[in-house]
Amino acid sequence: MVSQVHLGHIFHVAGRPNVQEAADALVSVPDGALVVGRDGRIAYCGGRDELPAEFRGAEPTDHRPGFLLPGFVDAHIHFPQTFAGDAYGGGQLLEWLTRCIYPSESQLADPVYAQRAAVAFCTRRIAVGTTAAMVFGSAFPHAQDALFGETRRRGLRMVSGRGIQTTGEDAVAPLITSEDEAIRLAKSEIDTWHAVDTGDVDTALLHVAIVPRFALAVTSETLRNLGELYDSVRDRGVYFHSHLNENNRPGTGEVDSTKQAYQVDSYLDTYDGKFLPGSQVGGKSLLGKRSIFAHGVHCQEAELRRLAQTGSSIAHCPVSQQFLGSGTMPWKRTIAAGVTVAAGTDYGGGDEWSIPRVLAAAFKVHISEPGEDGVSMHPAEMLFTGTLAGARALDMESRFGNFDLGKEADFLVVDPTGTPALEDTLAQGIRSDDPVLARDQMLFALLMGMSESTIAQVYVRGRRIDDH
């Protein structure tokens, strides 16, 4: 691969800020050039006028008046729900799981169906510009093989693990395994797929996670065994992923049901080795800087502190929280605790594949939080949450997430002409005389108005990804 020079309006959040510092770290280069070296890394990001002489010989690819953005990171999405979007369950989370999701995920027992789902899943990811993702996997090993195989063929980044379930109602029976089988299959997936593409966890595009569906889907024995297993593979860079504090309908919701089932003080305790009655220690913790918990809508202060202390992250999924009536994650309180908050679609709990649609939902729900809790998210915070925070949640911030020199070039060509309403908004909308506010207004309009049709090209590590 020779050096590539891409021209367009660059937006990214530079350096290693936290979300509160994102506005100061926002970089906007209206007449920008992004240079990708032969090694697939960012060799230059700046003004076209200041393009270093060494890159002037290369024929540039001119995307103007398009934009160049870092690839989006989806920190929580369900592969076996590829065909389960907009499913009507006549209730909230637990009814929807029983009536729609367990039967739907059971379809992947058929290898042909599973392969079709893997192809469709990757196609959708590419269409919406999701270059990296934490993917909640199928219970069926052949379906996970199809997913990893197809993801590798397309050249996408992914962390995924088979959804582990060792107990549950009749509807979920096809997804349940014995205790021994659950551990055997998790180990086997790690050995087969973790960093398989390069053989080195620090350069791989593919990684494996240990993924119990949620505490209610497993037993104390499973949690103890997973703690042992995770402890033995942490130093290989294996991930952990699950759901946490998503739905608190009083009495019968997920949060109360979990606390009742385990007799623990907090939901997080079940993943933190404290899954015995009274939150007594029964095994090793599953928390850490490679652990991502989806939702975290109803966390106690102590749970947020513990997530922050262990470097664990939250995948914030406001589209799903609206779809399933799960409530609103308190934005100010959660980020004040110092937890990394990335964005997740939670598809098919969410009915959008696109991370910008999730960021737009985040803006709307957080401005609507009551009283002092309400906040008008800065567009740089939105961009940060959908890109750099995702890379940080995946513990790969040093590799991608923005256009800092030397990072692997995961980026999108965003073409507003693909979306006429957005094109009009950008061209005709009024902008402040203050150049900083005008910049922020443009980024906001772009993120709010962007959709699948706006994503023109997708690159991972400098390589253009085909959408077929």
Under the binding rule (CB under 6 A), the answer on residue 349 touching ligand GUN is yes
- Angle (deg, nearest 10), helices 111-127 and 141-154: 40
Binding segment (CB under 6 A) for ligand GUN, from list 93-101, 151-159, 367-375, 425-433: 93-101
Under the binding rule (CB under 6 A), the answer on residue 321 touching ligand GUN is no
Total residues contacting ligand GUN by CB under 6 A comes to: 11
Under the binding rule (CB under 6 A), the answer on residue 257 touching ligand GUN is no
Under the binding rule (CB under 6 A), the answer on residue 315 touching ligand GUN is no
Tell me the C-alpha distance between 127 and 452, whole Å. Answer: 6
Give 432's DSSP letter.
-
Q: Position 263: which residue type?
A: Q
Minimum CB separation of residue 93 from ligand GUN in Å reads 6
Residue whose Cβ sits closest to ligand GUN = 349
Complex with ligand GUN: residue 271 or 411, whichever CB lies closer? 271
Which pairs from 234-237 meet CB under 8 Å and 24+ separation?
234/288, 234/290, 236/190, 236/194, 236/195, 236/201, 237/194, 237/195, 237/201, 237/202, 237/207, 237/290, 237/395
Under the binding rule (CB under 6 A), the answer on residue 101 touching ligand GUN is yes
| Exposure of 62 in the CB half-sphere (CA atoms within 13 A) | 5
Q: Name residue, tokens 């993943």.
A: 271
Under the binding rule (CB under 5 A), the answer on residue 346 touching Zn ion is yes
Which among 226, 240, 336, 325 has a CA at the least distance from the CA of 289?
A: 240
Burial 409-428 (b: 16+ CB within 10 A, else e): bbbbbbbbebbeebbebbee
Binding letters toward Zn ion, positions 264-303, x by CB under 5 A? ------------------------------x---------
Complex with ligand GUN: residue 239 or 459, whichever CB lies closer? 239
Under the binding rule (CB under 6 A), the answer on residue 79 touching ligand GUN is no
Complex with ligand GUN: residue 346 or 395, whichever CB lies closer? 346
Complex with ligand GUN: residue 78 or 357, whichever CB lies closer? 78
Burial 115-154 (b: 16+ CB within 10 A, else e): bbbbbebbebbbbbbbbbbbbbbbbbeebbbbbbebbbeb
Under the binding rule (CB under 6 A), the answer on residue 264 touching ligand GUN is no
Minimum CB separation of residue 320 from Zn ion in Å reads 7
Under the binding rule (CB under 6 A), the answer on residue 320 touching ligand GUN is yes
- Please answer whether residues 75 and 401 qualify as being in contact, where contact means their C-beta atoms are separated by less than 8 angstroms: no
Under the binding rule (CB under 6 A), the answer on residue 243 touching ligand GUN is yes
Minimum CB separation of residue 177 from ligand GUN in Å reads 16
Under the binding rule (CB under 6 A), the answer on residue 408 touching ligand GUN is no
Give 59's DSSP letter.
P
Tell me the C-alpha distance between 315 and 312, whole Å. Answer: 10
Minimum CB separation of residue 295 from ligand GUN in Å reads 7
Report what 101 binds from Zn ion, ligand GUN, none; CB cut-off 5-8 Å by kind: ligand GUN
* Positive/negative CA dihedral, 39, 40, 41, 45: positive
Tell me the C-alpha distance between 303 and 411, whole Å. Answer: 34
Complex with ligand GUN: residue 203 or 252, whichever CB lies closer? 252
Report what 246 binds from ligand GUN, Zn ion, none; CB cut-off 5-8 Å by kind: ligand GUN
Task: Say which residues have a Cβ less than 8 Å from residue 272's Cβ, sequence separation at least 6.
Answer: 285, 286, 287, 306
**For binding to ligand GUN (CB under 6 A), which residues are involved?**
78, 93, 97, 101, 213-214, 243, 246, 320, 346, 349
Q: Which residues contribute to the site for Zn ion (CB under 5 A)?
A: 294, 346, 349
